[in-house]
Structure 1
Amino acid sequence: MDKDISYKDKKVISIGVMRELTGLSERQIRYYEERKLIFPERSSGGNRKYSFSDVELLMEIANKIEDGVQTFEIRQEIVKEKKKEEQKAIRKKMLQGQLNAQFGIKNYK
């Protein structure tokens, strides 16, 4: 497993535990996956595996659904947030590269 992944992002939680943690039914969790709101990994046996970040995301999704927000609107928000995070990461990497070049630091990653 990638050493750079935060413990919150490691996919180690089964759907049964996810059900207990979120209070959602397995059907609801699968529905949110079908609607491309959450992306579990699959074990070699085909079982879904979730992360603690997924728990938080599912709780946010459930709250928004309860408030009357449609799943396609939630998906649009998620896509927009992912793009924002990707742009932030690119800017950070570019800035680090500029700093490394300015000060003659070699990046060993």
Structure 2
Amino acid sequence: MTYNDASYKDKKVISIGTVSELTGLTERQIRYYESRQLIFPERTKTGLRKYSFQDVETLIEIANHLEEGVWTSEIRKELKKREQQLNNSNIRTNLIKGQINAHFKI
């Protein structure tokens, strides 16, 4: 069985309490970052927030930026820009894979 880095990092399985312990942020801070649309946890059927390892890394990055005096609106712009770049990169990768598959008739 092969494990893909992205697959486990993107699974939303971590509770807000554990995220708080891992990041050193309070649950209130984490919910605030969500309200500012910097982080997007999933909700269980009962309404509990679930985060991914990637969310934990993002929260640490957000906290570091805020300590440096960066405003949440600027952080949001940077996160959206990074997400768009990642999406564009994934699209290019899939196009190249498709061209290779077509060329070799896979």
Per the shorter chain, which TM-score range?
over 0.9
Task: Indicate the residue corresponding to 1:83 in structure 2.
Answer: 84
Partner of 1:42: 43
Corresponding residue number in structure 1 for 2:65: 64
1:102 maps to 2:103: yes
2:54 alignment counterpart: 53
Shift of 1:67: 0.3
1:14 and 2:15 correspond: yes
How far apart, in 1, do the equivalents of 2:19 and 2:102 lie? Answer: 45
TM-score (norm 2): 0.92
Name the amino acid aligned to 1:45: T
3-state SS in 1 of match to 2:14: coil
Specify every segment of 5 or more residues in structure 1 that has no aligned partner in the other structure, as ranges.
none
> After the TM superposition, which segments of 4 or more aligned residues of structure 1 sit over 4 Å from their partners?
none
Distance in 1, matches of 2:13 and 2:91, equals: 28
One-letter identity of the residue aligned with 1:64: H
Task: Number of aligned residue pairs: give it.
Answer: 103
Q: List alignment gaps of at least 5 residues for structure 2.
A: none
Aligned to 1:31: 32
Percent identity over the alignment? Answer: 61
Q: CA deviation at 1:8?
A: 1.3
Per-residue deviation, residues 30-89 of structure 1 (Å, max 9, x unmatched): 010011110000011100000111111100000000000000000000010011001000
TM-score w.r.t. structure 1 length? 0.90
